[in-house]
Structure 1
C-alpha cells in the first residue's frame, strides 16, 4: 500500500513537473543564501575587511569568466540534462566543504576553506545555471510558454533570497554557523532527487552541437546576431558599475543597521523583496519585454543607478531601505530580462553557449564590480557613500545613453 501511494505521488509530481522543478530549485536557493549569509558574516566578523567580502563574492561570480564558455559548449554537446545532474552533485560537495570548515578549523585556515567552498559553488553553479537555462525549454509544452517559465525562475530565485538570509541570520544567532552551512548542503539534495526521479522532459526536442570548431563559444557569439550581441555587451557594462551589492551586503548592512547577523538578514531581505517585485512584473510581461531589449536594459540600469544615488544621500533609515528595494528590483529585472531575451531569441542549438555568454556578462561583471566597489570604499574620503555616488552616476549615464540610442530596438 505504501509503495502504491508513493507511485501515485510520483505520478502527480511528474504531471506537474514544471512546478516541481521550480519548487526544488527554490528550496535549494533558500539554503544557498542561508549559507552565503553565514559565510559573509563569519568573514566580516573575523576581519572587518571589505576586500575579504568582495573576494568571497568574486569567488562565487568570477569563475564564470573562465568556466561559462566550457559549460556552454559542454551543455550543447552532451545535453543539458546530463550536465545539470552532474553540476548539482558538484554543488553538494562544495557546500559540504563549507559546513565542515567550521568545526575543523579556526582563523585564517577557516577563511581559506570558506573561500574554497564558495569557489567550488561558483564553478559548479556556472555549469548548473548554463544547463538549466537550456533544460527548461524541454519542460514546456508550447514555445510561447518558455518566456514566462524562464521568468518564473527569477521570481523563485528571489523568494529564496528573501527567505534564506533571515534564516541564515537566525541560525547564526541561535545555534552558530555550522547549522546554517549544513542546511545549505542539505538543500542541494532536492533538485538532485527531482531530476533523477520526477522529471520527464521532451528530450527529443534538444538540439546538440557537433564536435569541432563550429561548437565553440565564438561561433555562438557570431551566429546569435548583432542585436543579441548588443544585449550581452550592454549587460556586462551595466553590471560592472551596478551589481556590487551582493558582495558588499554585509558592509552595507553594518553601515545602515548595525553589527548584528539579523541586520544583514533584514537588509538582504529588502533587496530580495525588490527583486521579487521586479521578477513578477517581468514574468507577467515576458513576451512584450523580450521584444524590446533597448527599453528594458536602459530603464533597469537607470533605476538601479538612481537608487544607488539615493542611498548615497543618507537621508534616513526608511529612505535607505526604500532605495535598497529599488536596487533589488532594478538588478533582478536586468539580469532576468537579459536571460529571457537571449534564450527566447537564440536558436535552440546555441542556447547552452548563449547561457554561458549571459553568465559571463552579468556574473563576471558583477564580480569585478564588487572588487571595484571595495577599492573605491577603501580609497575615497566618504567610504561606502562616495562609492555609491560614483558608481550610481556612471550607471545613470549608461542607462540614459541606452534609452536615447536603442529604446526603439525590436526583436521579432
Structure 2
C-alpha cells in the first residue's frame, strides 16, 4: 500500500498565456462565456441603478448585492457535488435556461412598470441561484478542455474573459439603460443566453468512463466535506479569501450610491464606473506575468489589498468624475490580481476528483464574504453615511493585510494526478459496494530510535487518508511488541475505499514511499481489510 511508483514525465511546457485559445472547444466556450457575462453585467447595472430609483435607502442598494451573492453562499457546495456526479454539459444548459427565464421576467415586469424593490430583490436572488449552480461547473470543465500544461493559462483566460465582460457589459448596459430603458437592457441579457446555449449544444462532450463506482449525491456531498475539512492548504486559501473579500465588498455594495450621491452621476456614469473596473482588470491581467515574476501569491494578495484600500480612501474625497473613473480602473487591477491569485492557488491544491466540490467551497466562502460584507457595509452606511463607511472599509483592509500576510498561501506545486500505486485488496469473495464501514490496517515494524521521525511523517499522511475518504484515523503500538506499529483508518463503505484507490496521488505516493525507509528489514508493510458484520 505504501509502495511508490515512478511519477509521470512532466507535462510539456505551455505554449504561452493564450495557448488554450488554439483549442477550438475551449475557444468557442470561452467566447460564449464572455458574451454571457456581458449580458449578466448589463442586467446587474440595470438592477443596481433601478433600485436607487425605487428606494433611496443604502440598505436597499446593498440588498441587491446580497441577493446576488447569498445563493452562491447557500448553494455552491450542493452545486459542486452535482457538477462532479452529473453530465456537466447538460447541467449547464439547464442552468442557462433558468437564467434566461429570470431575465425575461425582469424584461416583462420593467416594460409593464410593475417592478418593485421586493420583486427586483427576489428575481436577483433567483439569478443568484443560477449563478450558484453554474459557477463550480464552469470552472470544473476547464481541465477537460485543455492539457495540464495549459491549465493555469486557461484559468487566467477565464478571469480575463470575466473582466473583458466587466469592461464591456456595464458600459454597454449603462448606455442602453440611459438611452432605451431597463426593458431593452434586460432583453440584451436574454439574447446572450441564446449564444451560450448554442455553444454548449455544439460541444460534443465525451461520456465519462463508467467504473461502477459512481457516487450518489449524499456520498459525494460527504466526501467533498471530508476533503475540505482535512485539507489544511485549502483552509489557508479560504481564510485569506474571506478576509479580503469581506472588506473589499464595500466597493461593490456602495458604488451605486457613490456614483449618484457623492459624484453626482447618472445611469450612464454608473455604467462607466463599472466598465472602468473591467478595463482596469484587463490591464491587470496583461501585467500579471510581470507581477508574478517579482511577487509570489502572498505578495500579489498584499498588493491587491493596498490597491483596494487606496481606491476606497480616494473615493471618500468625492473626486472629480474623471478621477473617479481612473480610481475604479485601478480597483479593477487590484481585483483581478486578487481573484487570479486566489483562484489559481485553489485550483492547484485540488485534485480532479473533487475539483467541483472544492471550488464550490471556495465560491461559498467568496460569496458568503461578499454577501455578509455587502449587507454589513450597507447597514453601516445607513447609520454613519457612505464616506465614513468607505474609510472604515479601507482601514480594515490595511489592517487585515498586515495581520494575515504572515499566513502564507500554499505554493500548490504538488502532483495531484492519480498514481494508481495501491495494489488491489486481497479478497476471499466479492464484496458488495454498499457494505461497510471498512477498517483498513497497515502494520509497520519500526525501531525505537526512529519512532518519532516515523510518526511525524505518518501524521502528515493522515491528512491524505482523511482527504481521500477516511472519516477516522489512528495509530497504535503492540503492548507486547513495541516495534509493531499499526495505522488504521475507517471508510464508510467498500465502494468508498475502492474510490480511495483511484484518488491517491503521486504526491501522496511520494509521502508514503518516505515511510518505507523506517520499515525494519525493508519490504512493504502488511495491509489488512476488515468489514463490519
Superposition TM-score tier, normalisation by shorter sequence: 0.7 to 0.9
**Partner of 1:402 in structure 2?**
404
**Which has the larger share of helix?**
1
d(CA) in 2 for partners of 1:200 and 1:344? 27
Q: Say which of 133, 136, 159 aligns to 1:130.
A: 136
**Partner of 2:160 in structure 1?**
155
Are 1:178 and 2:183 counterparts? yes
d(CA) in 2 for partners of 1:46 and 1:169? 17
Are 1:263 and 2:269 counterparts? yes
Higher relative contact order (CA 8 A, sep 6+): 1
Q: Indicate how the Cα distance of structure 1 residues 206 and 248 shifts in structure 2: closer, same or farther if over 3 A, else same.
A: farther
**Partner of 1:323 in structure 2?**
327
Q: Normalized against structure 2, the TM-score is what? A: 0.68
1:55 is displaced (CA, Å) by: 0.9
**Partner of 2:104 in structure 1?**
96
d(CA) in 2 for partners of 1:305 and 1:79? 42
d(CA) in 2 for partners of 1:179 and 1:14? 35
Q: Say which of 146, 149, 158 aligns to 2:151.
A: 146
- Tell me, yes or no, if the aligned pair for 2:45 and 2:174 is still in contact at 8 Å: yes
1:54 is displaced (CA, Å) by: 0.9
Instruction: Provide the alpha-carbon RMSD of the alignment.
Output: 2.6
d(CA) in 2 for partners of 1:16 and 1:352? 23
Structure 1 counterpart SS, 2:412: coil
1:257 is displaced (CA, Å) by: 3.6
**Counterpart mapping for 1:259-298 below 5 A:** 259-282=265-288, 284=289, 292-298=296-302
**Counterpart mapping for 1:63-102 below 5 A:** 63-102=71-110
Are 1:411 and 2:418 counterparts? no
Structure 1 counterpart SS, 2:141: helix
- Render the CA deviation track for 1:354-406: whole Å, top value 9, x for unaligned: 121121122221111111111221211xx212111111111111112233442
**Partner of 1:392 in structure 2?**
394
- Render the CA deviation track for 1:306-365: whole Å, top value 9, x for unaligned: 322233244544443333222222123222322222123310011111121121122221
Structure 1 counterpart SS, 2:312: helix
- Tell me, yes or no, if the aligned pair for 1:206 and 1:349 is still in contact at 8 Å: no
d(CA) in 1 for partners of 2:59 and 2:121? 13
Are 1:311 and 2:318 counterparts? no
- Render the CA deviation track for 1:5-47: whole Å, top value 9, x for unaligned: xxxxxxxx99612111111111111111111111122111121
Q: Indicate how the Cα distance of structure 1 residues 206 and 345 shifts in structure 2: closer, same or farther if over 3 A, else same.
A: farther
Q: Indicate how the Cα distance of structure 1 residues 345 and 288 shifts in structure 2: closer, same or farther if over 3 A, else same.
A: farther
- Render the CA deviation track for 1:46-81: whole Å, top value 9, x for unaligned: 212221111111111011121011101111122433
Structure 2 counterpart SS, 1:411: coil
- Tell me, yes or no, if the aligned pair for 2:254 and 2:386 is still in contact at 8 Å: no
**Partner of 1:350 in structure 2?**
354
d(CA) in 1 for partners of 2:46 and 2:104? 14
1:214 is displaced (CA, Å) by: 5.3
**Partner of 1:6 in structure 2?**
none
**Partner of 1:41 in structure 2?**
49
Greater gyration radius: 2
d(CA) in 1 for partners of 2:182 and 2:344? 36
1:298 is displaced (CA, Å) by: 2.8
Q: Indicate how the Cα distance of structure 1 residues 219 and 287 shifts in structure 2: closer, same or farther if over 3 A, else same.
A: farther
- Tell me, yes or no, if the aligned pair for 2:156 and 2:340 is still in contact at 8 Å: yes
Are 1:220 and 2:227 counterparts? yes
1:204 is displaced (CA, Å) by: 4.4
Are 1:242 and 2:244 counterparts? no
Q: Say which of 21, 26, 34 aligns to 1:26.
A: 34
d(CA) in 2 for partners of 1:287 and 1:258? 38
d(CA) in 2 for partners of 1:350 and 1:87? 21
1:215 is displaced (CA, Å) by: 3.7
1:209 is displaced (CA, Å) by: 6.3
- Render the CA deviation track for 1:232-267: whole Å, top value 9, x for unaligned: 121012111112322322112113542411111111
Q: Indicate how the Cα distance of structure 1 residues 54 and 321 shifts in structure 2: closer, same or farther if over 3 A, else same.
A: same
d(CA) in 1 for partners of 2:405 and 2:167? 31
**Partner of 2:61 in structure 1?**
53
Structure 2 counterpart SS, 1:62: helix
d(CA) in 2 for partners of 1:235 and 1:52? 26
Structure 2 counterpart SS, 1:188: helix
d(CA) in 2 for partners of 1:46 and 1:243? 23
Structure 2 counterpart SS, 1:406: coil
1:280 is displaced (CA, Å) by: 3.3
- Tell me, yes or no, if the aligned pair for 1:77 and 1:209 is still in contact at 8 Å: yes
d(CA) in 2 for partners of 1:51 and 1:98? 21
d(CA) in 2 for partners of 1:229 and 1:209? 27
